């Protein structure tokens, strides 16, 4: 029980530390949220303002904006800790390296994925979705954003030591995020239409569980490779 409690304490300490650092640098986590809001606000201006057409295109607009907004913050996931030697200290500590990397990924989702998911239903309503679809739209966004954070942590670890890592990071994340994008957009489409979205939600949940199981280990291995 003591090693488990120690790991949980270390996990909580990393999350607390990253949240405090994010409070000192609000631009890093406010930028993706501002980008998401701007894209969803500008999207209707480029189309014929017909409510039925906006409602039909709302799932695609939401998920593309969510994916691109998530990419903006991924480059900062490990970069500062790699520069100041924190990641090396994590690797040399007695705590499981994968647990500490997962703590940083969880903080990234709390600062980026969770706010984007909470704003998503409001953006859907602004695109013509009925107000009663707000809660059904929220669940696929929560699952999808978590899945994308887990995928992004692996890719951020792989590109940690690369020059122009932001462009390479996007090239790695976008293909891997396609299943999440497809199932998530379908779930939102069914939710807006007032139909059952259990099928796509189950698939999104399966992808998220798979990510929770494998992504921390893969991300930790990728960071170790980049640190060598």
Confidence of residue 138 (pLDDT cuts 50, 70, 90): very high
For the four alpha carbons of 161, 162, 168 and 172, in that order, the dihedral sign comes to negative
Report the domain count for the chain: 1
Q: How far apart are CA 41 and CA 36, in angstroms?
A: 9
- Per-residue pLDDT band for 178 (boundaries 50, 70, 90) equals very high
Range(s) of the domain holding residue 67: 2-227
Q: Which of 83-92, 159-168, 186-195 has the lowest mean pLDDT?
A: 159-168
- Token pair 């304490």 is at which residue? 9
> Mean per-residue pLDDT for 130-135?
89
pLDDT value of position 1: 41
| Rounded Cα distance, 190 and 186, in Å | 6
State pLDDT tens for residues 70-122. 888 888 888 888 888 888 888 888 889 999 999 999 999 999 999 999 999 99
* pTM as predicted: 0.89
- 36-71 burial, b at 16+ Cβ within 10 Å, e below that, comes to bbebbeebbeeeeeeeeebbebbbebbbebbbebbb
8 A C-beta contact, residue 63 and residue 21: no
Q: What percent of the chain has pLDDT over 90?
A: 43
Q: Looking at 15-24, 37-46, 117-126, 151-160, which range is the least confident one?
A: 37-46
């Amino acid at each position: 029980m003591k090693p488990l409690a120690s790991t949980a304490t270390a996990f909580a300490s990393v999350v607390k530390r990253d949240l405090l650092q994010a409070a000192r640098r609000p631009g890093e986590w406010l930028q993706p949220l501002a980008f998401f809001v701007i894209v969803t606000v500008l999207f209707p201006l480029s189309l014929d303002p017909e409510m039925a057409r906006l409602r039909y295109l709302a799932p695609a607009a939401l998920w593309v904006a969510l994916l691109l907004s998530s990419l903006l913050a991924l480059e900062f996931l490990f970069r500062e800790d790699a520069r100041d030697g924190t990641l090396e200290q994590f690797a040399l500590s007695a705590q499981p390296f994968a647990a500490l990397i997962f703590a940083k990924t969880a903080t990234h989702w709390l600062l980026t994925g969770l706010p984007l998911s909470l704003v998503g239903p409001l953006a859907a309503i602004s695109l013509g979705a009925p107000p009663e679809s707000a809660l059904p739209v929220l669940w696929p966004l929560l699952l999808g954003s978590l899945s994308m954070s887990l995928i992004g942590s692996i890719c951020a670890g792989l590109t940690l030591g690369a020059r122009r890592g932001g462009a390479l990071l996007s090239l790695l994340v976008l293909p891997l995020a396609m299943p999440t994008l497809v199932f998530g957009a379908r779930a939102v489409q069914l939710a807006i239409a007032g139909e059952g979205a259990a099928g796509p939600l189950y698939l999104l949940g399966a992808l998220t569980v798979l990510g929770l199981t494998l992504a921390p280990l893969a991300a930790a291995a990728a960071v170790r490779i980049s640190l060598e």
